[in-house]
Amino acid sequence: METWPIFSLSLLGIAMIAVLVFAANLSVKKLVGIAAYFNLSSTFMGMTVVSLATSIPEITAHVTASVNILGGRLDMQTGSAIVLGSNIGSDVVQQTFIMGLVVFLSGTLYFRRYFMWKSMVPMIASTILCIGLGWDGIYSRLDGAILFGSFILYSLYLYLDERKFYNAEDNVHMSEEISESIPKTQRQVWIDAGISVLLLMVTVLAASQVLSITEIIVDRTNVSGSLLGVLTLGIASALPELTTALAGVRNKEAGISLGTLVGSNITNPLVGIGGGALISTYAVPIPLIKWDLPWEAVTGLILWAILWLNKGKLGRKEAIYLMAMYFIFVILRSYLFPVDF
């Protein structure tokens, strides 16, 4: 691929991204069905199982990049910039454009007060934690352990809270798509789990190809690796969350939609960045700390404030504001931070 023209590399990269997203989507359906088999509420599923499953593209990209960085097959600064930009770019597009699009298409979405405190506040806190840990220009293995450990503790808290307040009616699956994916027997659970593992292997292989192609394009064009990650890989990586959230709204499963979008913005930094840093450590691009993460934190706070003032309601007017914030982010990011280091 080293000698391929940019156009051919771009087409191959798009094809690999399509394979990655397709495999991730199929894996999500299987994992959601398995979670439902064990009687987990739709909101809890969205916050944990589904958000983790839809974050497969980001997580596999981090693991693949970190292993290659550790093995000397990927430049540390370039690799770090690509996967970190993709991760945070995915979070920003979910928190602004995709959230706005889902609300706009559904007309209105309602957030319960407890959801705002137990889910949205941790989402904002995880972003602020990433800013603090990356301020020195590196995500060390200790930083990775703090991020990954925070996810484990938060998931444990959610599970204990779920078991304490779970009601049978919380698990009424109005989505035909979700209902059809629920295994009927324990044998089918094992079969679906096996299929999910195979699909995860496909995403790992696709992510490896995408990273290699992106590194070549960055080297040849001198385009910022993190900017390329934000504008291309970040959007592509967010497609599983988009399709899952839209399916939830279409089938009146608001818990899945809200839990997926908010939960993914907790999972991506804590598991993706944390897990990757545990493997290889990362060099943190300047735009990530000075623009991407602060913008994500500020838009999260704005979203929380709007919901608090509107008593948990998001309508089409607020949806337009959210989508506009994404385009402002992209335009200013491209103008103010054209280079990474």
Asked whether residue 290 carries a pLDDT value surpassing 70, the answer given is yes
Residues 6+ apart with CB under 8 A from 332: 291
Asked whether residue 242 carries a pLDDT value surpassing 80, the answer given is no
Name the percent of the chain lying above pLDDT 70: 77
Asked whether residue 341 is domain-assigned, the answer is no
Asked whether residue 1 is domain-assigned, the answer is no
Which of 51-60, 107-116, 251-260, 312-321 has the highest average model confidence (pLDDT)? 312-321
What is the structure's pLDDT at 67? 92
**Higher-confidence position of 16 and 215:** 16
Asked whether residue 177 is domain-assigned, the answer is yes
Q: How many domains does the chain divide into?
A: 1
Asked whether residue 58 carries a pLDDT value surpassing 70, the answer given is yes
In 3D, which of 98, 107, 57 has the Cα closest to residue 242?
Answer: 98
**Higher-confidence position of 103 and 141:** 141
Residues 6+ apart with CB under 8 A from 157: none
pLDDT digits (tens, 9 = 90+) for 63-83: 888 999 998 888 899 889 888
What is the structure's pLDDT at 137? 93
Identify the band that residue 211 occupies on the pLDDT scale cut at 50, 70 and 90.
low
Residue pair 283/226 in contact (Cβ under 8 Å)? The answer is: no
Asked whether residue 232 is domain-assigned, the answer is yes
What is the structure's pLDDT at 163? 66
- Domain extent, residue 74, equals 6-336
How large is the average pLDDT for residues 276-285? Answer: 94
Residue with tokens 């981090």: 62
Report the greatest alpha carbon distance in the chain.
59
CATH number of the domain to which 68 belongs: 1.20.1420.30
**Higher-confidence position of 39 and 330:** 330
Asked whether residue 214 carries a pLDDT value surpassing 80, the answer given is no
What is the structure's pLDDT at 237? 66
Asked whether residue 173 is domain-assigned, the answer is yes
How large is the average pLDDT for residues 25-49? Answer: 70
Mean pLDDT, the chain, integer? 80
